[in-house]
Chains A and B, each alone.
Chain A
Amino acid sequence: MSEHIVSPKIYLAIFTTLMAGTGMTVWAAFQNFGKFNIVIALAIATIKATLVVLYFMHARYSPKRTQLVIVCSVFWLAIMLSLTLADYNTRRHEGRLASATTCYRA
């Protein structure tokens, strides 16, 4: 397998898309979508991150085992987030998450 060289044209196209994505994030943040604001922000960020991984980091042209490692990182992150949040959201907190008034009163 010979090395794949990504052309500057693709890099520029990705860069332009990332810039547009940044603009969209800021625009979306000033609109009121209720609880969907965070969903939209994270969706745009994830699209941007995927583009960076695929093209700037050459993941699309990498060997399968490298791609497997990349997918694993997302998978492990998902385990950490989902199991911890599942725990927090199903546990009783006696009314509040932390007794901030006693711990952190300024």
Chain B
Amino acid sequence: MHRTGRLYGQFETLEQQKETAALGMWVFLVTEVLFFGGLFLAYTVNRSAFSTAFGAGSNTLDIKLGGFNTVVLIMSSLTMAMAVWSAQVGKKKLVSIFLIATLGLGTIFLGVKVIEYKQKFDHHLIPGLGFDMRYRSEHPTATDDPKEMAIEKEEVEKTFAVDPDTNAHGQLYFSLYFAMTGLHALHMIVGAGLLVWLIKGSFAGRFTPQYNTPVEIVGLYWHFVDIVWIYLFPLLYLIDRHR
């Protein structure tokens, strides 16, 4: 059935119908809060127990890439909100433009994430065989600044002096890093799929001031994913930057 925003029998008004749809989405988001909440809980327990290794793991992340991604994601939330507004005031062309902008920004975010994951592979920071927090400082590449690498080496050795099991506890950090950012990225991919569907609908001119529930509801989902990142960024990237 092609949904065009006609009134279904169980509702009295279109307004009520739309509110009900939004409420349903919110109930789903409540389950998502608890879903991610479990990971945040695992993170809290392990970080308080192995704070040294978590700090060292956090410092291996690229703050510029992480910060850039935060800006990109918040911008995509703005364009998403603007897409909802465009539909509400009946500017059909703007709906398409803002949805495409949102999809573009989301794709940039995922692309940067790929670069970050690749770096972790290169630096032997994937939990499992071959994981070594010392690897990076012991194997500098031609593009590395020798001074910076010396500082990094010193920091890593300090970490191992405090916590001889840094390689064990660091794997806990990176397991959580990949689980949390991976689950977040999976949500982004689902969101991108939903956006493609919305963009198709917007090209067909389906979203009007009377009927824009799909844009509104995908918007709720997209903003939720943004909120998760708002917490992930300081918790993963900024644990121990103030030495």
Contacts from A to B (Cβ < 8 Å) = 1-3, 5-8, 11-12, 15, 18-19, 22, 25-26, 29-33, 37, 41-42, 44-45, 48-49, 52-53, 55-58, 62-63, 65-66, 69-70, 72-74, 76-77, 80-81, 84-85, 88, 96-98, 100-101, 103-106
Contact = CB atoms under 8 A, between A and B. Distances in A.
Contacts, number: 150
B204 interface: no
B172 A104 contact: yes
Interface of B: 15, 18-19, 22-23, 26-27, 29-30, 33-34, 37-38, 40-41, 44-46, 49-50, 63, 67, 70-71, 74-75, 77-78, 80-82, 85, 88-89, 129, 131-132, 165, 167-169, 171-172, 216, 219-220, 223-224, 226-227, 230-231, 233-235, 238, 241-243
A88 to B, nearest CB: 6
B67 A56 contact: no
Contact of B41 (A19, A81, A97): A81
A22 B26 contact: no
Contacts of A32: 242-243
A49 B230 contact: yes
A12 B242 contact: no
Given A48-B230, A57-B223, A80-B34, A15 B78 contact: yes
Binding site secondary structure of chain A: helix
B13 to A, nearest CB: 9
Nearest to A47: B230
A103 B168 CA distance: 8
Contacts of B233: 22, 25, 45
A61 B71 CA distance: 26
Binding site secondary structure of chain B: helix
26 contacts: A1-B15, A8-B85, A12-B78, A15-B75, A15-B78, A19-B71, A22-B67, A25-B233, A25-B234, A26-B67, A29-B234, A42-B234, A52-B226, A52-B230, A56-B81, A73-B29, A73-B30, A74-B33, A80-B41, A81-B40, A84-B45, A96-B49, A100-B165, A100-B172, A103-B168, A106-B131
A69 B29 CA distance: 10
A63 B22 CA distance: 10
A30 B230 contact: no
Nearest to A25: B234
Contact of A15 (B18, B67, B74, B230): B74
A74 to B, nearest CB: 8
Nearest to A93: B49
Contacts of B82: 8, 11
Contacts of B171: 104, 106
A33 B22 CA distance: 41
B223 A62 contact: no
A65 to B, nearest CB: 7
- Rank and list the top 10 A-B pairs by shortest CB-CB distance, nearest first: A29-B238, A97-B49, A73-B30, A41-B234, A106-B167, A104-B168, A100-B168, A32-B242, A15-B78, A73-B33
A84 B40 CA distance: 12
Nearest to B232: A45
